[in-house]
Amino acid sequence: MLKILGTITFIALVILALRAWAKLFKADQSKFLKVSAFIAAIVVLFALAGVEFGDLGDAFSGEKFERVLDMLGTVLISVLACIGLWVVSNKLLGTLRFGWDIFVGIMGALLGALLFGVLRGNRAVFPIFADRDPIELFSGTGALGNLEWPIAGALVFGIGGYAMRRFGRRELRLLAAVVTAVVTGYLLAHYLKPWHRPNNIDWISTVITTIVGAGAGAVVRIRRDDQIPGILMGAGFGFAVGAWMLSPWQGIDSPWVAAMVPPLLVAVGVAWPANPSSRIVGYFENRARATVFLAPAMIFLLISLVIPAIRTGLLSFKDRRSTEWVGVENYNTLFSDPKSFDVSGWTNLFTSNLFILAVVTLLAGVLVGFLNGWRRNGSPGFESTPASTSGMLFAAFLFVSASMAVLRGTFFNNLWWVVTVVSVATVAGLLIAVLADRATIGEKAAKSLIFMPMAISFVGASIVWRLQYQARPPSKNQTGVLNAVWVGLGRLGQSGTARIVVLLVLAVIIAALVARAIPRARQGLPFVGSAITIIVLGYLFFRLADRRIGGYAINAAGEFSPEPVLFLTNQPFNNVFLMIIMIWMQTGFAMVILSAAIKAVPQELIESAKVDGATESQSFYNVTLPQIIPTLGVVVTTMIVQVTKVYDIVKVAGQGGRFGNNVLANEMFEQSFAFGNIGLGWAIPVVLFLTVLPVMIYNIRRMQKAQL
């Protein structure tokens, strides 16, 4: 069956592809050539692979191909079932055209099938033919045995619903309702399994629920002129709750009262009002359409997000087997475990290099702002420039990194991930987008190459970067690119002539930069970029002159030996090296979106800013940036969603988070599956959720505003 469907899909896909191909030939020949070349390249590649690896050549005949057909068949069924249901629902609504009675009949049939199907699914009823027919038609546990109840339900409710709406006279409608209800009640009472029979109705509860239900029914329809249907239906449901839920289920006799009363009340309630006017039908159709369009998405959201999230929230207050309520104990465990939440090292913050660098950058940013204010206004005062703002933002970023490096534990690691990856990838993406916008050569190719990692999986990227980070014993060749470079630098620092040559080259570059920057500074043009480059290169220059660069060690005897960095195990910065993997992947995403946003900024705005004497960076800061803020919001939100999910990288490249580089997703996984502590496994994602919540609320509100 699956195979047949799979084959059909396969043939259909081939035909569709050929048709599209032929159409393209007629429409756009240059595109046709391009597409053909692309397809040909793939075919040739596969052919080559087939020649090289004999097995691929047989791919279209053997067992593999059968699996492919199976897969196609399953996919076809899934897609058809999901989308077909929706189309059918729409078509059902379309039957409103034929009249309200037909529509109610069809909907009644569906409702009946569903209701009786649920009863059967709960094993509440006998097979209909079981105790009558020795052949036991349909009965049993097979698909047909389970179908006889839905079919019966569809028939009773369908015909009943149609009849209830067919007649203009109320008496006839009520007659149809009574007949339908009696048949339903008979089926229920007669075929219920004994242990599902509510014989001893708890009358006190039932009367109360009936009254409550009737009241609720009246309230729901309070705005309508006729409240009898609401009261009747409400009473029916209330009676059902009382008689079926609040009363014991035991008995031999058929429960005639419990089975008859609710259908009667509800059916009379349904049949009572006159047929709706066409205006009301139109109103109803609109609402029903909205439901049909929204229902698939909402059902999925409800089942796979909302209910599980609530469940997780509740169960996080239960113990490790989810049996006893333990209050906030799981959270206590989480925050008292130094592995997940460790603030003991916070005093080291003020002595860390990162912190000092943050302070220096902050001061530099403030200073630049002051200088700018002084130059502009003639008197001391702060006035922000692009350089001062970015300096201060960078200082903030450094400060967060410094804090995260001393505050250890899974929880802070996750926070660190979010802050670092989102900010660095966004800024790098913005930078590349701007550069690509200005560059005269190869903009498209460069963007494709930067974007490419986005198409690779996290697992694949982790493997790519494991190669880069590999560290081998000092005596051996370094196979990791980064360590090869690092150790090479160490060698360079200890070498003779090579070091001198590099020093000379560096000196020339620095001199050239200084020579360029000084006149610019005199003219009052921005020179901060050059200044930063000069500082960085000068630092390298002095380190190299001092022979203190790269990875090396000198033992007591004064002998040199290379010393690789253990990127993935040195705490706490192994976290950062894992984050780089994600930054590598996400930058392309930020770049593409921001690049398009930058291109969408009206050129006239930038031109007029230039006419007013703004420099390139000023016009970017004052004109382009405000225009792309909404887009930045989208980028940041998307990225936060991605980063909170991070797990694969830590698992594959970070060796399962064993070196102080664990993240919450991985911790949750381990607690739930490896350590069997489900309670803690529930609590962790809740913490994760609460951490991200403020940012997400902020972003969602802003997106909402940008939309309206």
Partner 1 sequence: MAAPAISPRGATGSPTLGQRIYQKLSDVPAWALWILVLVWTIPSLGLFVNSFRGRDAQRNDAFWNIISEQDATFENYRSVLSAGATNDLTDSLITSFAIAVPATIIPIAFAAFAAYAFAWIDFKGREWFFIATIALLAIPLQVALIPLLQLYNGGAAFSVPFTDKTLTMLPFFDLSGSAEAVWLTHTGFAMPFSIFLLHNYISQLPREIFESARIDGADHFTTFWRLVVPLSIPALASFAIFQFLWTWNDYLIANTMLDASSSLPTTVRIANLAGDFDNTDHLLTAAAFIQAFVPLTVFFGLQRYFVRGLLAGSVKG
Q: Scanning residues 93 to 132, which ones bind partner 1 (CB under 8 A)?
A: 93-94, 118, 121-122
**Subset of 233-252 contacting partner 1 (CB under 8 A):** 245-246, 249
Cβ proximity to partner 1, 231 vs 606, nearer residue: 606
**Subset of 609-638 contacting partner 1 (CB under 8 A):** 630-631, 634, 637-638
Q: Which residues pair with 552 in a beta bridge?
A: 562
Query: Quick check: 220 binds partner 1 (CB under 8 A)?
Result: no
Query: Quick check: 501 binds partner 1 (CB under 8 A)?
Result: no
Kindly indicate which of the ranges 332-340, 349-357, 442-450, 504-512 contains the residues binding partner 1, using the contact rule CB under 8 A. 442-450
With CB under 8 A as the contact rule, the residue among 19, 31, 67, 705 that binds partner 1 is: 67
How many amino acids of this chain bind partner 1 (CB under 8 A)? 135
CA distance 525 to 516: 11
Cβ proximity to partner 1, 16 vs 439, nearer residue: 439
Instruction: Note whether 510 and 534 are within 8 A (CB).
Output: yes
Query: Quick check: 572 binds partner 1 (CB under 8 A)?
Result: no
**Subset of 464-483 contacting partner 1 (CB under 8 A):** 464-468, 476-481
**For 141, phi and psi rounded to 5 degrees?**
-105, -5
With CB under 8 A as the contact rule, the residue among 24, 56, 506, 614 that binds partner 1 is: 56
**Subset of 76-95 contacting partner 1 (CB under 8 A):** 78-79, 82-83, 86, 90-91, 93-94
**Subset of 351-390 contacting partner 1 (CB under 8 A):** none
Query: Quick check: 504 binds partner 1 (CB under 8 A)?
Result: no
Residue 62 carries which DSSP code?
S
CA distance 483 to 530: 29
Kindly indicate which of the ranges 185-193, 405-413, 555-563, 647-655 contains the residues binding partner 1, using the contact rule CB under 8 A. 647-655
Tokens of 329: 């104990």
Shortest Å distance, C-beta 352 to partner 1? 27
**Subset of 673-692 contacting partner 1 (CB under 8 A):** 678, 681-682, 684-686, 688-689, 692
Residue 319 carries which DSSP code?
-
Cβ proximity to partner 1, 395 vs 590, nearer residue: 590
Cβ proximity to partner 1, 68 vs 400, nearer residue: 68
**For 658, phi and psi rounded to 5 degrees?**
-85, -15
With CB under 8 A as the contact rule, the residue among 15, 40, 328, 463 that binds partner 1 is: 463
CA distance 632 to 359: 27
**For 478, phi and psi rounded to 5 degrees?**
-85, 125
With CB under 8 A as the contact rule, the residue among 301, 356, 498, 505 that binds partner 1 is: 301
CA distance 395 to 364: 9
Interacting residues of 569 by C-beta distance below 8 A, sequence separation 6+:
655, 659
**Subset of 260-299 contacting partner 1 (CB under 8 A):** 285-287, 289-290, 292-294, 296-298
Residue 26: exposure state from Cβ atoms within 10 A (0-12, 13-18, ≥19): exposed
Tokens of 634: 């989208």
* Distance (Å) of CA 632 to CA 426, 453, 511, 689: 8, 20, 38, 22
Q: Can you list the pairs that 620-625 forms with residues at least 24 positions away whose Cβ atoms lie under 8 Å?
A: 620/386, 620/434, 621/386, 621/389, 624/598
Query: Quick check: 536 binds partner 1 (CB under 8 A)?
Result: no
Alpha helices in 192-306 (DSSP H): 203-220, 228-240, 256-271, 278-301
Shortest Å distance, C-beta 280 to partner 1? 15
Cβ proximity to partner 1, 375 vs 645, nearer residue: 645
C-alpha angle 691-692-693 in degrees, rounded to nearest 5 = 95
